[in-house]
Amino acid sequence: MSTATTPVPPSAIQEFLHNLRRLPHTVKDAWFRLGHTPESEREESQATFHNLFLHIHSVRVHMRSLAPTFTLGLGIISAASFVILCITGVLLMVYYKPSTTLAYDSIKDLHFVVFTGRFMRNIHRWSAHVMVAAVFLHMARVFYTGSYKKPREFNWLVGLGLLVMTLALSFTGYLLPYDQLAYWAITIGSNIANSPRELTDALGITKWFDPGGFQRRLLLGANFVGEDALIRFYVLHVFILPAALITLLGVHFWRIRKDGGLARPEGPMGGVAEWGGEMKRVFEPLGTKTYGLMALVKGRRATVNRGPEDTVMSWPHLFWAELAVFMVTVVLTLILAFHFDAPLKELANPAVPENPAKAPWYFLGLQELVSYSAFVGGLMIPAIAWIGLALIPFLDQRTGGEGTWFGSPGERPVALESLFVGLAAVVGMLAFTVNYGWLRNWYPHIHQLWIIAINPGSILVLLYMIWSLWVLRRSNSIRHAAVALFTCFLVGFTVLTYFATVHRGPNWLFYWWPSQWPVH
Amino acid sequence: MPELNEKQKSRLEPAAIRRRSFLSVAALTSFFSAAGMALAGALRLPGPAVLPGPVRRFKVGHPEEFAVGSETRVEEANFTVFRDVQGVYAISSVCTHLGCTVARSADGFACPCHGSRFAKNGEVVRGPAPRSLPWLEVGRAADGQLVVYADNEVPEGTRFRV
């Protein structure tokens, strides 16, 4: 900017020297085009939309979206842990060798030899846990604040895609160390992919129609977990799934902006507010428009002669908030990684399974259901839950309550009731099966179709659905029924996860505490 | 040049298709058919044409090494060879539920992963396993040793007479 005012030197050699002298300034100007921290709203908006990485945000952000109690920062925590995962993952790739004979040793090298290798691996492991937990909680937040409603249905679906990507990433990462834990978890996982055979075998049609075998072969490239499986999981884990996740994440962020920012109730101040001593209509941007450019010229924008709007400049308010959440995530991950090592068992041994062989915690709820029927617990119930989630915004179309926790009237009691109903059902079911077993214990020769149809998992889903339908009839509100079902599934998932983590020991037997496990 | 009738004329000079619409239809058709074929080909690639892995055929020893009433676990191949008065048979140790390796228990086999229990003849007695442990084909090699074909299942009760 100041270059224009400097007189041009007479000869080319002088001009060259002049430019050389000014090099630090001109290069700095090219990088920091504004030259100083933004001082006016005009400069703040420029700082936002002249930057590729910032311009995905709108220039102004609603105050409600900044309230920590509204979002709990969960989306940013998920994204932040993904960033940490990408960075540490690439660092781990420097030493990791995807081969059944070398993988385990390369992880040992990372752990014992490579400078900071152990810490990087721990961070990678812990941020994966944080990401999965944050993604689940983020989904619950979006659901309970009714933020999936029109026009945000599409973004809810994108989010469900991201949930699948997140779980698939953590599942594929599980095999890579090629230790006992990895080998047996993937043996079990790939056999869950194979489990439609439970149904096709029972019907006697596997010879002609075998989706289970197809899925397993596609995943493993063989009939057993070996070199082909390892390289497939590696390619999925380090390229295909991250690339797909980043793409979906881009769409997810972009849709937030195109859908008019985070969900919020309409007319938070009843449409009027005091402004300059008199009551004025509040300026409410349309839900689908962001009015980024309107902030360019202070005082001459769409809010002229209107009351105050509830928005603040994204620079610095939003960016500081996001940075703060990012740093909290980093610190949390660092503390966990510093104190708790990522597990590494013995080298994979196909002859001796881990006992108990437990999946990572977020799959343990499913593992508990799988211990009644692999097909129902491992594929059918997750599929039903996912499809149910995907249908929510299309079945519940009544507007109202968006962007508020338990927004529609009477929602909170329904959630609380469902909490207890869901809890009672799942605890009762577990207590029953632990004490009395299930069909196969009573009738060892029973046909497998009976077990597929009637097992603790399917009964639990049925009970939850009946409860939800009853709420639908009672309160005459689809949203309430959705809240009931969602809460029940959430409670069921949590209790099953807890139960399988704490109360299942060797041979998948019930123990009150892990300290009671027999030593062998 | 002879006079053309209406029909001949319309064949020689058909109603003009707008060049743009022709091009766009052609472009779209070619794009989607090419993309579809490419996708089908790309998805076909990961389905293995040949399943890798060693031949799962194991020589387990001469028949006289197996005393009547004995059972011999072959660890590297994941099955147990039994001998009774009627003959020799082999039962797989791979759980039919989710593929863990079952261990010998007092009255049969127990799976450590999800608690399936099997009787000594491989039959399911408890837990999530959908079917019995498979019996494997037993034969004899040219050198007189018994061979277990670990990929070939035979009906329960099939014994190799020695």
Domains in chain A, start-ordered, CATH in brackets?
1-31 (no CATH), 41-266+288-298+312-347 (1.20.810.10), 359-520 (no CATH)
- CB contact (8 A) between residue B48 and residue A224: no
- For residue B142, CA distances in Å to A199, B34, B139 come to 41, 55, 10
The answer to whether A279 touches A273, Cβ cutoff 8 Å, is: yes
> Does B104 contact A at CB distance below 8 Å?
no
- CB contact (8 A) between residue A226 and residue B100: no
Q: Do B138 and B78 belong to one domain?
A: yes
Rounded CA-CA distance B107/B129 in Å is: 17
Would you place residue B1 in the very low, low, confident or very high pLDDT band (cuts 50, 70, 90)? low
Query: Coil, strand or helix: which one is A78?
Result: helix
**Ranges in chain A, pLDDT < 70:** 1-9, 266-309, 520
- CB-CB neighbors (< 8 A) of A202 in chain B: 130
Rounded CA-CA distance A248/A256 in Å is: 12
For chain A, positions 327-386, list CB contacts with chain B under 8 A. 350-357, 367, 370-374
Domain assignment of residue B107, yes or no: yes
Q: Do B135 and B80 belong to one domain?
A: yes
Query: Coil, strand or helix: which one is A520?
Result: coil
Q: How far is residue A356 CA from its own chain's centroid? A: 27
Q: Do B30 and B97 belong to one domain?
A: no
The answer to whether A346 touches A180, Cβ cutoff 8 Å, is: yes
Q: How far is residue A495 CA from its own chain's centroid? A: 20
Burial of A210 (0-12, 13-18, 19+ CB in 10 A): middle
Domain assignment of residue B65, yes or no: yes
Q: For the sheet with B124-126, list strands across it.
A: B103-105, B108-110, B117-119, B124-126
Picking from A187, A372, A507, the nearest residue to B128 by CB comes out as: A372
Closest CA to A488 of A450, A519, A461: A461
A409: cis peptide before it, omega within 30°? Answer: no
DSSP state of A471: H
- For residue A271, CA distances in Å to A179, A279, A332 come to 62, 10, 41
The answer to whether A173 touches B83, Cβ cutoff 8 Å, is: no
Amino acid at site B109: F
**Distance, in angstroms, between A240 CA and closest chain B CA?**
14
The answer to whether A401 touches A264, Cβ cutoff 8 Å, is: no
Burial of A21 (0-12, 13-18, 19+ CB in 10 A): exposed
Rounded CA-CA distance B60/A302 in Å is: 87
Res A1: pLDDT: 45
> Does A198 contact B at CB distance below 8 Å?
yes
Q: What is the CATH number of the domain that holds B65?
A: 2.102.10.10
**Distance, in angstroms, between B75 CA and closest chain A CA?**
6
Closest CA to A41 of A372, A301, A362: A301
Rounded CA-CA distance A17/A335 in Å is: 52
Among all residues of chain B, which has the CA nearest to that of A358? B113
Q: Do B40 and B70 belong to one domain?
A: no
Rounded CA-CA distance A290/A261 in Å is: 8
Domain assignment of residue B50, yes or no: no
Domain assignment of residue B49, yes or no: no
Closest CA to A264 of A140, A147, A412, A138: A147
- CB contact (8 A) between residue A192 and residue B98: yes
Q: Do B40 and B61 belong to one domain?
A: no
- CB contact (8 A) between residue A217 and residue B128: no
The residue written with tokens 């027999």 in the block is A518
For the record, the structure tokens of B145 come out as 């040793």
Among all residues of chain A, which has the CA nearest to that of B130? A448
- CB-CB neighbors (< 8 A) of A372 in chain B: 128
A196: cis peptide before it, omega within 30°? Answer: no
Q: Do B10 and B62 belong to one domain?
A: no
Contacts of A326 (CB under 8 A, 6+ apart): A76, A80, A83
Q: Do B69 and B97 belong to one domain?
A: yes
For chain B, positions 35-74, list CB contacts with chain A under 8 A. 46-48, 51-53
Domain assignment of residue B1, yes or no: no
**Distance, in angstroms, between B127 CA and closest chain A CA?**
6
Q: Do B19 and B87 belong to one domain?
A: no
- For residue A272, list its beta bridge partners: A281
- For residue A369, CA distances in Å to A174, A355, A499, A500, A506 come to 20, 18, 11, 10, 17
Q: Do B61 and B38 belong to one domain?
A: no
Q: Do B39 and B93 belong to one domain?
A: no
Query: A307-345: buried (b, 16+ CB within 10 Å) or exposed (e) per residue?
Result: bebbbbbbbebbbebbeebbeebbebbbebbeeeebebe
Residue A236 sits at φ, ψ, to 5 deg, of -60, -45
The answer to whether B80 touches B93, Cβ cutoff 8 Å, is: yes
For the record, the structure tokens of B58 come out as 């194991």
Rounded CA-CA distance B137/A246 in Å is: 50
Query: Coil, strand or helix: which one is A270?
Result: coil
Residue-number span of the structural domain to which B27 is assigned: 6-44
DSSP state of A313: E
Give strand ranges (E) for chain B: 57-61, 71-74, 79-84, 87-92, 103-105, 108-110, 117-119, 124-126, 135-140, 146-154
Query: Coil, strand or helix: which one is B20?
Result: helix
Q: How many CB pairs under 8 A join A and B?
A: 103
Residue A11 sits at φ, ψ, to 5 deg, of -110, 165
Rounded CA-CA distance B95/B102 in Å is: 6
Domain assignment of residue B143, yes or no: yes
For the record, the structure tokens of A190 come out as 């790939």
Res A309: pLDDT: 64
The answer to whether B97 touches B113, Cβ cutoff 8 Å, is: yes
Rounded CA-CA distance A280/B19 in Å is: 57
For the record, the structure tokens of B66 come out as 């197996």
The answer to whether A63 touches A330, Cβ cutoff 8 Å, is: no
The residue written with tokens 């041979």 in the block is A507
- CB-CB neighbors (< 8 A) of B53 in chain A: 222-224, 226
3-state secondary structure A242-303: HHHHHHHHHHHHHHHHHCCCCCCCCCCCCCEEEECCEEEEECCCCCCCCCCHHHCCCCCCCC
* Total structural domains within chain B: 2
- CB-CB neighbors (< 8 A) of B47 in chain A: 214, 217-218
- Give the count of beta carbons closer than 10 Å to the beta carbon of residue A131: 24
> Does A215 contact B at CB distance below 8 Å?
no
Alpha helices in A145-285 (DSSP H): 153-175, 180-193, 196-203, 211-220, 227-235, 241-258
Interface predicted TM-score (ipTM) of this complex, two decimals: 0.82
For the record, the structure tokens of A443 come out as 């009738």
Amino acid at site A218: L
Res A399: pLDDT: 82
Picking from A228, A352, A440 by the largest number of B CB atoms within 10 A of its own CB, the best residue to mutate is: A440
Q: Do B29 and B106 belong to one domain?
A: no
Rounded CA-CA distance A267/A127 in Å is: 39
Contacts of A508 (CB under 8 A, 6+ apart): A356, A371, B112, B113, B114, B115
Between A446 and B137, residue with greater pLDDT: B137
For chain B, positions 137-156, list CB contacts with chain A under 8 A. none
Q: Do B130 and B74 belong to one domain?
A: yes
Alpha-carbon dihedral A195, A197, A201, A203, rounded to 10 degrees: 100
The residue written with tokens 């992963």 in the block is B113
Domain assignment of residue B159, yes or no: no
Res A398: pLDDT: 86
